[in-house]
Structure 1
Amino acid sequence: MKKIAVTALSGLLIFGTMTVQQQSPAFAAPNPIVVENQQPGSTAWQLGPNVADDAHGQIQGYASATSVNQGESLTLYVTVNPAQQYTIDIYRIGSYSGSGGRLRSHVPGLSGTPQPTCPTDATTGIIVCNWSPGYTFTVPSDWTSGIYLAQLTNAAGWQSYVIFAVKDGRPAAFVYQQPVNTYQAYNNYPDNGTSFHDPNGTGKSLYGWNSYGAQTPGTNDWRAVKVSFDRPYSGAGVATFFTFEYNLIRWLEGNGYDVTYTTDVDTHANGALLQNHKGFFSTGHDEYWSNGMYDAVQAARDVGVNLAFFGANAVYWQVRYESSASGVPNRVMVCYKDASIDPVQGPLTTVQWRQPPVNRPEQSLLGIQFMDEVNWNKSDGTINTWPYVVTNSSHWIYAGTGFKDGDSVPGLVFYEMDRYQSNFPGPTGGTNQTFLSHSNYLNWENPPKPEYQQTSIYQAPSGAWVFAAGTMVWSWGLDNYYESYKDARIQQMTVNLLNAFLNGAPKTVHDLKLTAPTTVTAGQAFNITVVAEDAQGSPVPGYTGTVHFASGDTASGVVLPPDSTLANGQGTFSVTLATTGSQTLTVSDAANALSTTATLTVSAQHGAASHFVLATTATPTSGKAFSFTVTAQDSSGNTDPSYSGTVHFTSTDTSSGVQLPADATLTSGAGTFSATLIKAGAETITATDTVTASITGGLNVTVGGAGATRLALTTTATPTAGAAFSFTVTAQDSSGNTDPTYAGTVHFTSTDTSSGVVLPADTTLANGIGTFSATLIRAGAQTITGTDTATASITGALSASVRAAAATRIGLATSATPRAGTAFSLTATALDPYGNTDTSYAGTVHFTTTDASVGVVLPANSTLASGTGTFSATLIKAGAQTITATDMANATITGGLSVTVRAASATLLALATGNSTPTAGTAFSFSVTAKDPYGNTDTAYAGRVHFTTTDTSSGVVLPADATLANGTGTFSATLIKAGAQTITARDTVTATIAGTLSVTVKPGAAASLTLIAPATVTASQSFSVTVTAKDAYGNVATGYRGAVHFTSSDILATLPADYTFTSGDAGTRNFSVTLVTVTTQTVTVTDTANGALTASAQINVKLPLLP
């Protein structure tokens, strides 16, 4: 025995057990898939460890077409880096008894070279490889239709694939569509970036997240808007084929299904050929469809071709095809993904199928559509899957699986998920849509949110079945190649589906037929027949459901059959009804949503009266008479027309004004009476036989108010500012009864007119009562008033004492204008967000200030009494200052007081200058500022200032007595005497208000030279003379740097050489002179540059003393 799901017989599959005997091909009429998979297989199609990559391009290639017919030629374009020989091994992919592939061609010894870099179009982002052909071959006629892999291997051992489909045009039972559009949409060849959006990378796809280089104009993204099939698929060259499709192919071919293979491009170009098959398979990740594809598949469905979507996220984006630059049709795929930048507008605009202007949601074809992506990528690098959870397990597709509702299959909810979305239309003309699963998962958002997956099946009006897996990995449940989630129940479920595609779905119950007599007698048993029928009215012998019986006759004495099964879809049962008149019988099967009802007439037959039935059609109103009936009935609920007793009436309403009927007899067992009740609400009128008290009955009524005259507003809440609270409005009549018929509209107002107040919108009441929410802001006594918008007299008010919300800030205030060094008063108040005082605030407040001066006095840490407190503070520094109060436990509760501190009265004058070394005789500027004891400027100072100086020289100029403007003034003075000097300013009234400016007066520029020499010298003996440069005021011109030249009337004199004064001379220097000629001589010194600077000395030269 070999475990398989089905038996292969000429491509037709039948429902069977999970383990069956596989027939030998010798006993069957095998289809081409069966024959093909009996050939010797190979596992060598799998790549070794050295898989080529785009960055190095060791060996990669692409085909001249995505698919090729038997007998047609196909060209492979191959790049090899570096240049070397390579081989091509072409494998067909299938089952082959588990080996998975069959070698169909080995091509050795090909010469390969690096092909040119594939350029990127700057406008659309398209990348087209204009490579030279590497190998061209004609597909042999014995190559069975399928998915083929050209395995490329260079001499260094690097490998990759070129994938393509081989077609045979055969009207096989099933046609498999390879999703090459989606391969190409995600293809970012060459994937040579090293980081996200690497500007040095060149690869592009229709997605920004895996595209590199420059952004594509108009997209604000790196993605391309066109992609070309004339380039390799990135990486190993097979896109997601092995992830989502290979398991399905292994299972299909391993079980002998007759299938032929095509691609998206073929469906677009020759979609009418789909109608040659019984079933169409959309497989794997089949996200990108052209308008031609959608039309072709929909048309196939509408002529009876069954559809199976074995993936998810199918038919999501619309694309268009364009020819290549060399004119080959359908080699460029276009998808702008944004209607605003697509140059083609209308039904061919490349947006999501569900979006305008296309408006063809995929759900109308599949029955469900893409919803979300599973949060599948774990932090440890493994994948995260969720279980498939079964619903509607009675559906024929689950036959033989053993599934029950709520059963789960691990691993089948992964990657992208579909479900039904009620805001989009369902299947066009679809009937019997059933959701086969409801599988919960977490989506890709951060943080993840709960979502759910659904599998759908429905039958189109053409009779075609449409199955949508709603999960990307349905194939994982069929085979264990990629992941180990194979499940025999999913295999059987898929067998059932494909068998229905081939032979029609098994007969199912459409309804239950109930046959019963049209007239029966109360209290007497009679037979009914129940038959399970299909939609054509034929019995369904295989029906195994349980039927349940119910009747509109609920009287005592009714006998219904217990829940039962049917024998061969039919059953006869006994029923007894008790109530005369028209009655109903219903038979149903809740598990299969089946139900049918029959109406019968039960003839009169009654016993003696055992009770009264009181009834009314009225809704009583307080104070108004209403009519009711009394009927004497037997134990089966039949009227006793022979009853002759006397009826007495009582009521639960004991209010003044209640009126009940007098004791009375009935006519033919029935009577009509009038009563008036007063109290609104639930009340009862009881009728009792005056002789036999057990013959009794009650009428329960709800008495309505007489008509609203006021509105009553109530609440149990104590409102808090800013917090919504609930209150009730009741429409009451004058007696305080609720008027449930009140239909007026209530308008709300409030005494609280603060910003942020929220009152209910104008509204009606339900049964005279309504509960509403309001938010008030201002603390204290407030009122909400409700008034009828049409009748202002119908009004009412709710008085509430609004509490402040919890304090969120401290409000500081003062009425003072603080003066430096003088204490002033301030208040601190705990305020909620709306400015209300939080009287319950119990925090401790800490005070700080921007004034860091010595002498500042702030309040100690303090609590507030009933949310407020008064404190004293002393600031020192004049100008803008802030005092801040902060809760010591919650620093967000804080507040500041901004004040302008005035200076205290002036106690001194501060003199300052920017020129501390004025030049003698030159005016310089200085300022005088009136300062208080803390160094603040007293802008209010109004005193008069008098100036004196230590320089008593002639020519000194001091300011006249003056006042200051805003406590300060700028003045000019001229000092004469070089050296340390002071200027003193003093208030002319208060002498203690004074201040001094110390400066060092510099001499002016040299205005003269002096020459000091001895009055008498000895001839031929040297003596010293002193040369001094002086300014115009007689100060030594210490800055003099002139050069001096000496002359003499003594032509024999020895004079100093010309000399230039230096800073070390400080304006004066001694020189040595020798005179020779005895007489009075003159020595003169003159500035070499300024002859006006000169001085002379008369010297008496005497003879030396004789020895």
Structure 2
Amino acid sequence: MKKGREILLTIVILSLLFVWVPKVYGGPATHFQVIVPSTAKIGVPFNITIKALDANGLIDAGYTGTVNLTVNSSVGLTISASTPALPYTFVAADAGVKTFQITLSGSNISTPWNTATITAQDTGTPSINGISSGFQVTGGVPDHFKIDLSSTNITAGDSITFTVTVQDANNNTVGDYNQTVIFTSSDPQAVFSPSTYTFIPADNGIHTFVNGVTLKTAGSQTITVSDSSVSSTSATITVGFSTLHHFNITASTLTPTAGATFDITVTAVDEYNNTITNYLGTVHFATTDPNTSVSLPPDSSLPGGTNTFVGGVILCTAGPQTIYVEDTSNSLIKGSLTLNVQPEPLASCSFQFDPIGPQTRGNPFSVTIKVVDSFGNVNQSFSGIGFNADLTSSAGTVTPSTVGPFLNGVWSGNITLDTASNTMTITASDPGLTVGNGTSNTFTVSDPDPASFVFDPIPDQSIGNPFQITVKAVDGSGRIVASWSGNVKLFVSTSGGTVTPNI
């Protein structure tokens, strides 16, 4: 018996441990609970959950009605997609609870955030319904930037204010946009302030840039806003020229040849180099080139703000030369252009000697020979090995007979003449027959030793008063012996007279 009572007690205890607690479900549904997230984006799917509840808030697990979902119309949104599709008929397996993945759509919603609610309603029994709590909806994926301009017609140098709104493909504002945008313009001189900007939550997808861009190039211009994946361009902004500031000068060549004509174009411009098309003034030309053969255009007008003077300029002096232009009524308004004038080609050049003074037969002396064009410019291309000159003299021979090489168009060195002459010249010729011959000035070549002394004429003088005389050492032909140096003793022809000093 005792053993039987123990078995019975054990069964009772085990029974108490495995008590079955049934799940409690509500009665027939009277309304829906609609559970939504706190935020959603237009065009981006998100989940909501619908629960069929009875009057006591208990789930009606047997609910099999048909439900449709709508968004409150005041925010301009609709449900464009749903999984499962709407309207939806609950099945027994749902047990009164169903989760839907829905997508909202809408267009041209300008406010960055919208508070929306979703209503669930039984299509057969409309009194069975429910409304979600409010949740915030913003635009979908950024698709473009809307750029509003404070002005579309400005003067070069003016600033304009512009507003950037981030929008999705349906022109809804993307209020939670937080990327960095970069500003550029078709105007290469445009200045943005700032040049980049990172949107912050307080912007709600919209930011205004006060005096955010300064445009400087006349014509039709635009500004562009870009991030890493989206880029948009504004409407056209017409930029007009500003006030006259200076003249621009351009030339058909920056390396004109001496003596050759070339074209120049003069344009009246503002400080940003925009053409002043209504310029009615007159311009005057000048140059640093001192050569008397220079040719410049006469004082001229600039029709439409610009004028091209075809073949209007001739410069002659090699090297950097500047052309100046100024307004004849306001000399402070001017312009300039510096060019590098080139000598004429070698075929138009000849040899030129630096001046040679009196020399002595048999004594070496220094000469300098240059290759020059018709304007006296040295042509530096006659330079290096093989660029030499043959020398001949008008009397006797010159040693060496060939000199060189020339360096940058110039040769300097010593030569010797073997013959005395009152009218000596030296001629240089090009062995390559490119450069024209050149002949030195006429100079005297004397014998090496003086044969006598001659005085320059002396006018009447007074006793005891100093006066100046010139004595020359000359050879047998009366040529000054330039190489001679020594002392001479002076005498007077008057008996008893003396000259001081006498040596």
Q: How does the TM-score come out when normalised to structure 1?
A: 0.26
**Which of the numbers 824, 836, 846 marks the counterpart of 2:262?**
824
Aligned to 2:76, which of 608, 623, 641? 623
**Is the CA contact (8 Å cut-off) linking 1:621 and 1:706 kept in structure 2?**
no
From 330, 336, 340, the equivalent of 1:896 is 336
Question: Are residue 750 (structure 1) and residue 173 (structure 2) matched?
Answer: no
1:993 alignment partner in structure 2: 437
Equivalence map 1:699-714=2 (5 Å): 707=138, 711-714=146-149
How far does residue 991 in structure 1 lie from its aligned partner after superposition?
10
Structure 2 residues without counterparts, runs of 5 or longer: 1-71, 79-107, 112-135, 453-472, 494-503
Secondary structure of the residue aligned to 1:876 is coil
Q: Verify the 8 A CA contact 1:808 1:892 in the aligned structure 2.
A: no
Q: 1:884 to 1:929 in 2, by over 3 A?
A: same
**Offset at residue 779 of structure 1 (A):** 4.4
Please tell me whether the aligned partners of residues 756 and 777 of structure 1 are also in contact (alpha carbons under 8 angstroms).
Answer: yes
**Is this contact kept in 2: 1:752–1:776, CA < 8 A?**
no
The Cα shift of 1:781 comes to 4.1
1:405-435 deviations in Å (ceiling 9; x for gaps): xxxxxxxxxxxxxxxxxxxxxxxxxxxxxxx
SS at match of 1:896: strand
Residue correspondence of structure 1 range 274-353 to structure 2 within 5 A: none
After the TM superposition, which residues 410-425 of structure 1 pair with which residues of structure 2 at under 5 Å, given as runs?
none
Could you say which residue in structure 2 is the equivalent of 1:958?
Answer: 399
Q: 2:293 aligns with which of 855, 879, 900?
A: 855
Q: Structure 2 counterpart of 1:1001, which letter?
A: V
> In 1, Cα distance between the equivalents of 2:184 and 2:326?
35
2:157 aligns with 722
What is the deviation of 1:831?
4.3
Aligned with residue 1004 of structure 1, among 448, 452, 468? 448
Q: What is the letter of the counterpart of residue 259 of structure 2?
A: G
Contact 2:187 2:221 in 1 (8 A): no
CA distance in 1, matches of 2:290, 2:477: 50
Q: Please tell me the residue identity of whatever aligns with 1:797.
A: S
Aligned-partner Cα distance in 2 for 1:1040–1:749: 85
| Offset, 1:730 | 5.3
Distance 1:758 1:829, change over 3 A: same
2:358 corresponds to: 917
User: Which one of the candidate residues 313, 320, 325 is aligned to 1:880?
Assistant: 320
Q: 1:864 to 1:991 in 2, by over 3 A?
A: closer
Return closer, same or farther for 1:958/1:794 CA change in 2, 3 Å cut-off.
closer
Partner of 1:968: 410
Aligned residues: 327
Between the aligned partners of 1:793 and 1:938, the Cα distance in structure 2 is 60
Paired residue type of 1:985: T
Structure 1 725/866 Cα, relative in aligned 2: closer, same or farther at 3 Å? farther
Distance in 2 between residues matched to 1:759 and 1:720, nearest whole Å: 18
- Judged with a 3 Å threshold, the aligned counterparts in structure 2 of structure 1 residues 979 and 819 are, in CA distance, closer, same or farther, namely same
Kindly provide the amino acid, as one letter, of the partner of residue 257 in structure 2: R
- Helix, strand or coil at the partner of 1:997: coil
Structure 1 position 874, deviation (Å): 0.5
The correspondence of residues 70-109 of structure 1 with structure 2, limited to 5 A, is: none
CA shift for structure 1 position 853:
1.4
> Using the alignment, how far apart are the partners of 1:927 and 1:993 within structure 2?
15
Partner of 1:947: 391
Q: Which whole-Å CA distance do the structure 1 matches of 2:447 and 2:290 have between them?
A: 44
Shift of residue 706, structure 1, vs aligned partner: 8.0
Distance (Å, rounded) in 1 between the aligned partners of 2:289 and 2:479 = 49
1:722 match: secondary structure: coil
Shift of 1:765: 4.9
- Change in Cα spacing, 1:708 to 1:857, as seen in structure 2 (3 Å) is farther
Q: Is the 8 A contact 2:350 2:438 kept in 1?
A: yes
1:869-926 Cα distance to aligned partner (Å, 9 max, x none): 332310111221111222334444433221121222545432224x612233211011
Residue 367 of structure 2 corresponds to 926
Structure 1, residues 852-881: CA drift from partner, whole Å, max 9, x if none?
A: 211211123334455443323101112211
Structure with the larger RCO, 1 or 2 (CA within 8 Å, 6+ apart): 2
The letter of the residue matching 1:772 is V
Higher strand proportion (structure 1 or 2): 2
- Is the Cα–Cα contact under 8 Å of residues 149 and 160 in structure 2 kept in the other structure? no
2:181 counterpart SS class: strand
Is residue 2:223 matched to residue 1:784?
A: yes
Counterpart selection for 2:245 from 805, 808, 813: 808
* Alignment check: 8 A CA contact 1:1004 1:1032 kept: no
CA distance in 1, matches of 2:444, 2:74: 111
Change (3 A) 1:714 1:950: closer
CA–CA distance in structure 1, aligned partners of residues 376 and 152 of structure 2? 59
The answer as to whether partners of 2:163 and 2:206 remain within 8 angstroms in 1 is: no
The Cα shift of 1:725 comes to: 1.7
Provide, for residues 662-707 of structure 1, a one-character-per-residue CA deviation record: whole Å limited to 9, x for no partner.
Answer: xxxxxxxxxxxxxxxx9989xxxxxxxxxxxxxxxxxxxxxxx985
Q: 3-state DSSP class of the match of 2:399? A: coil
| Cα 1:778–1:991 shift into 2, 3 Å | closer
Structure 1 pair 621/846, CA: closer, same or farther in 2 (3 Å)? Answer: farther
TM-aligned CA distance change 1:992 to 1:1064, over 3 Å: farther
The 1:981–1:743 alpha-carbon spacing in structure 2 relative to 1, beyond 3 Å, is same
CA contact (8 A) 2:244 2:271 kept: yes
2:266 and 2:388 map into 1 onto residues whose CA distance is 43
What displacement does 1:805 show? 4.1
Contact 1:947 1:983 in 2 (8 A): no
Report SS of the residue matched to 1:972: strand
Equivalent residues of 1:717, 1:726 under 8 A apart: no
- Say if 2:267 and 2:305, in contact at 8 Å, map to a contact too: yes
AA aligned to 1:750 is T
- Counterpart secondary structure, 2:417: coil
In 2: Cα distance, 1:708 partner to 1:861 partner:
65
Relative distance call for 1:819 and 1:772 in structure 2 (3 A) is same
Determine the structure 2 residue equivalent to 1:329.
none
- Describe the SS at the equivalent of 1:937: coil
**What is the CA deviation profile of residues 480-508 of structure 1, one whole-angstrom value per residue up to 9, with x for unaligned ones?**
xxxxxxxxxxxxxxxxxxxxxxxxxxxxx
- Larger-Rg structure: 1
Structure 2 residue corresponding to 1:938, chosen from 370, 379, 384: 379
Give yes or no for contact 1:949–1:983 (8 Å, CA) kept in 2: yes
Equivalent-residue separation in structure 2 for 1:838 and 1:759 (angstroms): 28
> What letter matches 1:811 in structure 2?
N
- Where 1:974 maps in the other structure, the secondary structure is strand
Q: Distance in 2 between matches of 1:969 and 1:794?
A: 67
Q: How much does 1:822 deviate?
A: 0.9
Q: Does the 8 A contact of 2:395 with 2:421 survive in 1?
A: no
- Look up the equivalent residue of 1:1062 and give its one-letter code: K
| Aligned-pair CA distance for 1:743 | 6.3
Q: Against the structure 1 CA distance between its residues 718 and 999, is the aligned structure 2 distance closer, same or farther, given a 3 Å change threshold?
A: same
CA shift for structure 1 position 748: 4.7
Partner of 1:22: none
Unaligned runs of 5+ in 1: 1-618, 626-677, 682-704, 1009-1028, 1043-1060, 1070-1107
Identity of aligned residues (%): 27
Structure 1 residue 971, shift from structure 2 partner: 4.0
Superposition map of 1:754-773 within 5 A = 754=188, 757-760=191-194, 762=197, 765=203, 770=208, 772-773=210-211
Q: Of 233, 236, 257, which residue of structure 2 is paired with 1:799? A: 236
For 2:403 and 2:149, the matched residues in 1 are separated by: 77
Alignment CA distance shift 1:978-1:796 (3 Å): closer
Take 1:767 and 1:1037, find their aligned partners in 2: how far apart are those partners?
A: 101
